[in-house]
Structure 1
Amino acid sequence: MTTTDFTSIPVLDLAKASSNKDAFLAELQHALIHIGFFYVKGHGITLEFLDNLTKQTISYFDLPLDDKLKTDKIYSPTFLGYSIQGNEITKDKKDNREQFDFANELPATWTEGRHIHERLTGPNLWPDEDVLPRFRQSILSFHSQAQELAETLTRFVAEALGLEPSALLDRYVLPNQQHRAKLIKYPAVDQLDPQDGTQGVGPHRDTASLLTLLYQANDLPGLQVQNHAGAWVDAPAIPNTFVVNIGTGLEYLVQNVAIATTHRVLNPPPGRGPRYSIPFFLGARLDKKLAPIEIPQRILDQRPQTVVTDSGHQFSQVYQNDPGLYAVLNRISSHRDVGAKFYAQLAKDHGIITTETKTGY
């Protein structure tokens, strides 16, 4: 296997960081530079907790549609809340998935004249407690544990790239920043209309973030990672692990030495039922133009020269000058009904065609 043509995703054991830190950092460095994805085990989040989280996720999506629509993100400019099957767009094509976006609880503080990205911050939309008991508590507990794990990994990422452990978190993450996560349900192919295709979510890179942690909540295929030669590599569920990948924010901030690898999800095969997954996104700060950090030359010398990607590079130049605007534009592009309601002029100014009509009803 060459370093530009990986055929599998490595599994890193976080416990090894205590017993043999140098070896762990070497494995992590290779994954960051040459793959952009890795599994992590030994992460400290109990299987009992994750099993309960899976049950809560399934219970949410099993609610009657009317109950889920009460938490629809159309009610909030934050883009937090529920999205009905087929309502999200990737590369101008609908994604065959339902999802519920959530974040750490923060109040809405944006007012006219403030930077537009501040409008993305605000409270979650929750189902009533009597409809789904303990759901909010479980979801926020997951968010807290996932953020702690993501921050731990980010410190190791910094060390693996020759930096001080706090170099990324101190410069690029704010203390009271809102970080997003999702519950996702991908229907099996036989649960879709034939014209829907099999795009669970199209080829993309995770935008404006440092790291993504993904819990694959049941043992169904779907997640695929594009290697640097352009081939698609399966990333199957491995019990009690998280899949970790690099966001475009981190890639930019470390001078493209860590790769935000393109990935996609295919809907599960017929007869297998739905696939559930739960990603958490550790976001980079959005409040000002960000300068890439100085990376040791010995690390920069390993930077990949050619990376094939089926993902677009939408608004990539905007990120370098205004990360907050970049984040808003990407949200509008993916959720065009919310864009039409709250950001119509901004969408028009940037050539995004919005619609107030949802698909999938």
Structure 2
Amino acid sequence: MGDDFQSLPVLDLSRLETDKEALLAELRHALIHVGFFYIVNHGVTKDLMDATTSKAIDFFDQDLDAKLTVDKIYSPTFLGYSTQGNEITKNKKDNREQYDFANDLPDPWSPGKPEFLRLTGPNLWPADVPGFKDTIGSFWTAAHGLAERLVSLTSEALGLGPNGLDDYVVKGQQHRAKLIKYPAVDALSPVDGTQGVGAHRDTANLITLLYQANMGGLEVQNHAGEWINAPLKEGAFIVNIGTGLEYLVHETAIATTHRVTNPPAGKGPRYSIAYFHGTRLDTVLRPANVPDEVLAQKPTNVVTDTKGFQYAQLYAEDPGTYALVNRMSSHRDVAAKFYPAVAKAHGMDLNIGNSGY
């Protein structure tokens, strides 16, 4: 178990019943020295994962006009549909379509309240995909339950006890997920490039669950700066930590840089489903009291893409505003419609690509 890695570890959650201490040791190593790992025997049924994939394909196969009825531009929550190339990473277009969803919650915002409260609200559900809402909602519920388990295990593995991260999440808060379609390169224009999503780290959340539904494409950067392929593993989730967890554990666990490339010509589109377990947005977050013996394992030779979290001080002072600004940086059209004053306050040019938030 050296500091570098050439593949992602695989953790079998069924070992919680028979070999928990060894499993927690493996999880601790994965958190500190890799930042990514597969989980198997996780309890989310293959039938549900297949059904969710099927509904994702049904949604993306609709005519563009149908998909645009649930475009993000209609909601300040940034939930809903994004067209091919609408999102940007590092000033470059991401070649993917996506549909963002969450647990349905009422809109808590009214004039005079903090602007970040507008991130919470109801989903934009498509009207013409039978069974979509029920299936996608069932997936969210299953992924959320799994994420809560994993956050507790993460807390335990890092010496904080099973409930050591509880105060950083509010029961009933909104956690986001997304359905994603990456077109193969032969479905793109030559000027589009092959960036499915550019090199980045998941921002301000605790953990991400990723299901690669039909093929690989994810690449993870190891400590030497090499790109390591994360191939499809049937029925498995890939888990990675976000910069929120990194901050809360004094950078002992590092949010690892990753990217996705579009499928090669002739392979057809790649579908994936991601769930993001976020931290609370309503209060200043102070890092946890991580034991010295865990802090001592902090790696010193990690290559990371720090640009994606260059406003870490804002996250430390005001997580809600940070979350809002981060969303605005990726979706300038929604920002221009709903948040022009916030953009101006943070020096964001809504007429250009990603400015590095």
TM bucket, shorter chain: over 0.9
Mapping of 1:32-111 within 5 angstroms?
Answer: 32-111=31-110
TM-score using structure 1 length: 0.95
Match of 1:18 in 2: 17
Match of 1:116 in 2: 115
Deviations 1:206-238 (A, max 9, x none): 11100100011102x310001122111011110
Aligned residues: 352
Letter in 1 for 2:43: G
Task: Identify if the C-alpha distance between structure 1 residues 14 and 120 changes in structure 2 by more than 3 Å, giving closer, same or farther.
Answer: same
**Structure 2 CA distance, aligned partners of 1:263 and 1:286?**
25
**Structure 1 CA distance, aligned partners of 2:306 and 2:251?**
16
Deviations 1:91-145 (A, max 9, x none): 11110000000000000010122112111000000111xx111100000100000
Match of 2:280 in 1: 285
Deviations 1:292-318 (A, max 9, x none): 000011100000113212451332221
- Do structure 1's residue 325 and structure 2's residue 324 form an aligned pair? no
Match of 2:145 in 1: 148
TM-score using structure 2 length: 0.97
Deviations 1:163-201 (A, max 9, x none): 110111x21000120000000000001111001111100
**Structure 2 CA distance, aligned partners of 1:90 and 1:18?**
41
Which of 221, 225, 236 is the matching residue for 2:220? 225
Secondary structure in structure 2 of the residue aligned to 1:214: strand
Secondary structure in structure 2 of the residue aligned to 1:203: strand
Secondary structure in structure 2 of the residue aligned to 1:167: coil
**Contact 1:340-1:356 within 8 A present in 2 as well:** no
Which of 267, 276, 279 is the matching residue for 2:271? 276
**Structure 2 CA distance, aligned partners of 1:353 and 1:16?**
50
**Structure 1 CA distance, aligned partners of 2:115 and 2:253?**
29
Same amino acid, percent of matched pairs:
61
Q: CA deviation at 1:355?
A: 4.1
**Structure 2 CA distance, aligned partners of 1:269 and 1:120?**
36
Match of 1:316 in 2: 312
Give the 4+ runs in structure 1 shifted more than 3 A: none
Deviations 1:329-359 (A, max 9, x none): 11000001000100112112212221499xx
- Do structure 1's residue 164 and structure 2's residue 164 form an aligned pair? no
Match of 1:247 in 2: 242
**Contact 1:341-1:356 within 8 A present in 2 as well:** no
Match of 1:192 in 2: 188
Match of 2:335 in 1: 339
**Contact 2:201-2:305 within 8 A present in 1 as well:** no
**Structure 2 CA distance, aligned partners of 1:349 and 1:306?**
36
Match of 2:289 in 1: 294
Task: Identify if the C-alpha distance between structure 1 residues 356 and 119 changes in structure 2 by more than 3 Å, giving closer, same or farther.
Answer: farther
Which of 198, 205, 210 is the matching residue for 1:202? 198
**Contact 1:209-1:250 within 8 A present in 2 as well:** yes
